[in-house]
Every structure is written in C-alpha cells, then in structure tokens.
C-alpha cells in the first residue's frame, strides 16, 4: 500500500479533510466582520452533535429504524436549542424562536451530510472486508489443491524408488516456502511469481522425463512489476494436470509471458485428448477448483483490467490472459 493510500484510508485524515472543507464553505458564505472566527466557531459547535449522531444514533439504523429516526430528531431538537442558546450568549442576544428555526436547517443539513458520508464509508469498508475475506478463502482453497496434486507426484516416484525423488523434494520445499511465506500480500513482485513457475515446471520435468516437450518463454522487464500471487500457477498446473501423455505422439506444454509498459500477456497451451468429457473438465473445473478460483480472483483483484480467453480444439487447450498495469 502506498503512502497516499494510507493517508486516504486514515479515518483521522478523512475527518480533518471534511471539516476543513466545511470551514472553507462557511468562510465563503458567512457575512460577518470576522469571517475566520465565525466559521471556526460554527465548526466547533457542529462537531459534538455530528459525532454523537454518527457514533451512537446511526448504529440503530439497521437494528431499529423507528428508534433511529426518533433519536435523530430528538437529538436534533436538543442540540439545536443548545447551539442557539450558546450563540445568543456569545452575541449578547436573547433567545429567539426565529433564530432557532433558522438554525434547524443548518443542523439538518450538517447531520444528514455527515450521516450519508458515514454510511457510505462503512458500506465501502464492509464490502472491502468481504472481498478480502473471499480472497483469503480462495487462497486457502488454492494452496492445498496444488499441494495435493504435487504429493501425488511424490508418491508415484516413491513407489518406484526413483533417484530423482530427493531433487523433487527440494523443489517442492522451495514451492511451499513461497506459497506459505511470500504470498501474504495482495501483490508480489512478478519475478518471484516467475521463479515459482520455473520451480514448478522443473518439478514436472522430473516427473514427465522425456515424454513431454515443455517450453517456457518470457520477455520484457519483469523486475519492476507486481502481480497477484499464485495466480498464473493455476493455469500452468491445470495444463500439466490434464496433459495427454498417453498417445504415441509427443505431448507438449508451451508457456509464454511478455511484459510491456502497459500490460502483461500470459499464454499457456497444452495437448489433450477430447474424450470422456475431458474438455468439459478443463473448462468448467469439475475435476478441480483451480480455474474457477482463478476467474474469481481476477474479477475481484483486476476487475476491468484483465481479459481471459480459454479456447480449445480437438487436441490443444489454450489459455490467454492479459493484465493491464
């Protein structure tokens, strides 16, 4: 999070900005000999009823609407009377109902405006928390999903007592270290994500040996960009999971990643056999949750800044992802 975002999210800064804005508006509208002092005086008088309304009355809005409305108007009447009385003392004037009714409009405007801002801000934070919770849930689903598939590979090599098992375990250790400790933030450096892909691909090369042609091409400046963690691996893992290595012809997985000034393009294609509903599994995720989670995370994190295309024919399954920076 940048310093600007931290300042924007700071509630104290938000409140100071709103009061400063109100002070400037009053300064431009009040007709008095000392407008600065008069504007400051009105801000000081309005602050207590505004915060009492936001902290103690608005919470009843969802619990008991009638009670909230009743408390709002009682609070309005009481504080309006108090403020008019204080202004009468300051200006050395007797209490007048005309002044009371005139000030009611100011109070209603101030309380309504502050209530609207409070409700909008709370709604935004609530939706943001829901989004963060869903992202954490999707991550929690994704990591065990990947681990389950990799452990199956380990088990297969252990059964045949392969000499490649120690190297595979070290690679898996690096993969788990990244997924456990380096993916806590919303975004991670792109070069770390690429390193993670390379480790995974090297793991698959050990398992597949010479039965599959695996190619990973990358281009552009990857050292100054960031990406959502554990996002690209979903498509790569899906390619290897549904790879058809049973035919006489050599199967292949081809991955490309290119970075420009404004966007990142990622493609992943693999051979597969269009039989027994394999195409349906690849596209809908019936055999796993990886692709479904990837689509949800893209919608949550990148919203209108991504384009995902998934295409297939009888032999090739192809994923094309474009992310805008």
153: nearest Cα among 273, 239, 241, 236? 241
Q: Does domain 166-324 have CATH number 3.50.50.60?
A: no
184: nearest Cα among 134, 128, 228, 141? 228
Span 245-270, pLDDT tens digits: 555 567 889 999 999 999 999 999 99
Q: How far apart are CA 282 and CA 277, in angstroms?
A: 9
pLDDT of amino acid 282: 47
Its pTM stands at 0.61
Beta bridge partners of 310: 319
Span 44-58, pLDDT tens digits: 889 999 999 999 999
The more confident residue out of 307 and 32 is 307
pLDDT range class, residue 166, cuts 50, 70, 90: confident
Domain range summary for the chain, segments of one domain joined by +: 3-125, 166-324
* pLDDT > 90? residue 1: no
Q: What is the mean pLDDT of the chain?
A: 82
* pLDDT > 90? residue 60: no
Other CB atoms within 10 Å distance of the CB of residue 18: 14
Side-chain half-sphere CA neighbours of 248 within 13 A: 0
Torsion of the alpha carbons at 52, 55, 61 and 63, rounded to the nearest 10: -120
pLDDT of amino acid 297: 86
CA 144 to chain centre: 21
**Axis crossing angle, helix 232-241 with helix 97-159, rounded to the nearest 10:** 30
Q: Which of 32-36, 62-66, 77-81, 164-168 has the highest mean pLDDT?
A: 77-81
Span 265-304, pLDDT tens digits: 999 999 886 654 454 554 444 444 667 778 888 988 898 8
């Amino acid at each position: 999070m940048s310093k600007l975002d931290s300042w924007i999210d700071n509630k104290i800064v938000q409140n100071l900005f709103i009061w400063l804005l109100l002070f400037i508006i009053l300064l431009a509208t009040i007709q008095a000999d000392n407008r600065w002092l008069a504007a400051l005086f009105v801000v000081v008088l309005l602050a207590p009823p505004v915060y009492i309304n936001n902290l103690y009355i608005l919470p009843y809005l969802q619990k008991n609407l009638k009670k909230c409305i009743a408390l709002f108007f009682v609070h309005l009447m009481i504080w309006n009377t108090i403020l008019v009385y204080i202004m009468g003392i300051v200006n050395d004037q007797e209490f007048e109902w005309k002044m009371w009714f005139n000030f009611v409009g100011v109070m209603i405007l101030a309380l309504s405006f502050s209530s609207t801002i409070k409700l909008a801000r709370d709604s935004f934070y609530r939706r943001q928390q829901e989004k963060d919770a869903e992202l954490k849930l999707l991550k929690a689903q994704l990591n065990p999903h990947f681990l389950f598939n990799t452990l199956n590979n380990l088990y297969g090599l252990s059964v045949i007592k392969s000499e490649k098992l120690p190297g595979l375990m070290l690679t898996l250790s690096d993969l788990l270290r990244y997924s456990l400790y380096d993916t806590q933030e919303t975004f991670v450096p792109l070069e770390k994500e690429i390193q993670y892909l390379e480790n995974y691909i090297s793991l698959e090369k050990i398992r597949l040996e010479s039965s599959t042609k695996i190619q990973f091409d990358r281009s552009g400046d990857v050292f100054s960009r960031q990406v959502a963690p554990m996002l690209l691996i979903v498509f790569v893992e899906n390619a290897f999971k549904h790879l058809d290595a049973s035919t006489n012809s050599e199967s292949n997985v081809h991955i490309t990643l290119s970075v420009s000034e404004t966007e990142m393009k990622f493609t992943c294609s693999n051979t597969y056999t269009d039989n027994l509903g394999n195409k349906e599994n690849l596209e809908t995720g019936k055999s796993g949750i990886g692709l479904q989670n990837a689509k949800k995370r893209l919608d949550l994190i990148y919203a209108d800044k991504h384009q995902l295309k998934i295409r297939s024919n009888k032999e090739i399954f192809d994923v094309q992802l474009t992310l805008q920076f």
